[in-house]
Structures are given as structure tokens and as C-alpha cells.
Amino acid sequence: ATPTAIMVGTGLGAERGVLFKNAMALETSARVDVVVMDKTGTLTKGEPEVTDVVTGGALPEEEFLRLVAAVERESEHPLAAAIVRHADDLGLAPMAASGFENVPGHGAVAEVGGRRVVVGNRRLLEREGVAPGTLASRRQELAEGGRTAVMVAVDGAAAGVIGIADAVRDTSSAAVAALHELGVEVVMLTGDNAATAERIARRLGIDTVVAEVLPEEKAAKIAELRAGGRRVAMVGDGVNDAPALAQADLGIAIGAGTDVAIETADVVLMRSDPLDVPAALRIGRGTLRKMR
Ligand code: ADP
Ligand code: MG
């Protein structure tokens, strides 16, 4: 690209808070044919809220929530923050946790008041050898409603499920439509469960969903698409997304995201608006056209 075209493209981007880190980023934007989007914090606001608390009956709801919040207070996961906020809003007295262990892509485990409390997804309960029992159908109902279902086991027995909703960003669906107009395929990539992810993808008009992906598998999925000859942009916000952002032809970070994601990406969307993804590709295409 000519220096002038690059300057114009970079300037157009800057006007709407689309920061291209270098000339390569601008040129690659023109050639992207598939956009992979992280769900939580990218297509959704990433400010999840507790909507449902279901206990298996063995524990009263308040005691159940105090145990779960004690574990989640030690975690940095956005779902954990939602649970802690909910417990605080109810005015529940905090309890201390010890021996906290984070299980990436699964959840967390700790001892609370002499009990072993496991909080996370279905896979974590499986790993712990806990049968979900009657809570399996409640989990499924929540997932089909687009909720993320957090499962809880206490002392080796399923104790309850917490439903958490994360509102989709106002412009997510328009962004998907705009990408389709540019002839670009859109893929959702998420660690969340398949039923929840598919429900949200359908609402947004997204073609393909890759769900229940472990953090270390996200980059491998991008490599797989690239090996098929596609030019791949990855859009993400989390620490989890950084390896995938690095692996993509074009890494795009949500400005409200973590420092690691922003540092790793080639493009940063300062307004955290999904509509700036198609905007970035259009600016790239415009720049390339001026070069010829
Ligand atoms: P993502 O942010 O894309 O959902 P993660 O890899 O962070 O992916 O987590 C995958 C899944 O593991 C989450 O959707 C959730 O079900 C579960 N999980 C992880 N950490 C926690 C936690 N601290 N509390 C509850 N659930 C968790
Ligand atoms: Mg995320």
C-alpha cells in the first residue's frame, strides 16, 4: 500500500476508534473472509447477572448461595463476579474459603466451612465424579433459555444450579448482518455450553457455532480454519482469547477487554462496538482499492 493510502485508512479508523496498529493490519483487514467471534464480553456485554437459583433441596437457598459465593469470591471469572454480586445484593454474610483451585475452562473448587464445594460446568462435575441427578433437566432448561448454567456440588453430591444471563450487545446482530453483506462468514467460538451458545447464535444470525472449547483449544480452532485456506479474523476480549488473537491472520480486540487481549491484537475497537468489525474490514478494503 502507498504511504498515503495507509495514512488515510489509519485516519478513517481512528475517527471511529478503530485502531490499526500497523500497515499490515490494515492490509490484512481487506482480505479477511471469515470472522470468528468470542461470545462472552464480545457479542454479549460481559456483565452477567444471576437470574435463577435452583437448589436440589438438601440445602436452604441462602446457605447454598453463601457456600458458592465463598468459592467465587476467590475467582476472577465474570460468572464468579455475578454470583458474588448476587449474594451481596441479598445481604448474605460472607464465608471464608480455603484451598481455592481454579480449573481453567471448567470452574473452581474450594473448602468452605469444612465442606468441599465445586462450582462450574457439567464437565467439572463429571471430572469430580458427581452425577447431576434431577438437576440435569433444570440445567438443560436454563441452557435452552440462553442462560449459562453453573452447576454446584457440595461434598460430592449435586447441590444446585445457578442460571446466569449476559445480555447481547445492542449492535451484535447488525454487525453479523453487515459482515454477511461483505461476503464474510461468521463463527461463534466459546467455552460456554452448546445449547446456550446455539440459542444466542440463532438469535444473532450466526452461521456456525463452536462451543465448549477449552481456552487452549481456541487457538487450535483458528489454526484449523487457516489450514483450510481461509483468511481468519478473531475478535475477542479475554485473557483466554489472547492465543487465538495471536494465531489469527488478524486479531481484533474489544477495547473494554483485558490488557493481554489488547496487547496481542492487530486492531483495537476502542468503542467496544461489534459494528466496528465490519467497519474495519471496509476501511481495509478501501485502502487496498486506492493502492491499485
Ligand atoms: P468463556 O469465557 O468463553 O465462557 P471459559 O473458558 O472462561 O470460557 O469458561 C468455560 C466455562 O467454564 C464457562 O462457560 C463456565 O460454564 C465454566 N466456568 C469457568 N470458570 C467458572 C467459575 N469461576 N464459576 C462458574 N463457572 C465457571
Ligand atoms: Mg470473552
CATH code for the domain of 189:
3.40.50.1000
Ligand 1: centre distance to CA 283 (Å): 35
Clarify whether residues 174 and 273 are in a common domain. yes
Q: What pLDDT is attached to residue 36?
A: 98
Clarify whether residues 41 and 174 are in a common domain. yes
Give the position of cell 453483506. 181
Q: What pLDDT is attached to residue 290?
A: 73
Question: Ligand 1, closest atom to CA 105?
Answer: 6
Q: What is the CATH number of the domain that holds 64?
A: 3.40.1110.10
Clarify whether residues 82 and 144 are in a common domain. yes
Contact 218, 241 (CB under 8 A): yes
| Ligand closest to the CA atom of residue 237 | 2
- Give the residue, out of 106, 193, 254, with the most ligand 1 atoms within 8 A of its beta carbon, to mutate for a pocket test: 106
38 is catalytic: yes
Clarify whether residues 122 and 197 are in a common domain. no
Task: Indicate the residue among 104, 136, 165 that finishes a domain.
Answer: 165
Helix (H, G, I), strand (E, B) or coil at 152: strand
Q: What pLDDT is attached to residue 291?
A: 62
Q: What pLDDT is attached to residue 172?
A: 98
- Taking residue 228's Cβ as centre, other Cβ atoms within 10 Å add up to 9
Q: What pLDDT is attached to residue 292?
A: 57
Mean pLDDT by runs of 10 across the 292 residues of the chain is: 90 97 96 96 93 93 97 94 97 97 95 97 95 94 93 97 95 98 97 92 95 92 96 94 96 95 97 98 91 60
Domain total for the chain?
2
Clarify whether residues 103 and 244 are in a common domain. no
- Kindly indicate whether the ipTM for this predicted assembly is greater than 0.90, answering yes or no: yes
Contact 78, 41 (CB under 8 A): yes
Among the residues of the chain, which ranges form H helices?
3-15, 23-29, 61-72, 78-89, 122-127, 135-144, 172-181, 194-204, 215-227, 242-247, 259-264, 276-291
Describe the chain by its helix, strand, coil percentages, rounded to 5.
Answer: 45, 25, 30
Task: Indicate the residue among 120, 138, 165 that finishes a domain.
Answer: 165
Domain that holds residue 226: 3-45+167-291
Decide whether any atom of ligand 1 lies within 6 Å of the 79 Cβ.
yes
pTM for the model stands at 0.85
Ligand 1: centre distance to CA 231 (Å): 28
132/120 Cα distance (integer angstroms): 12
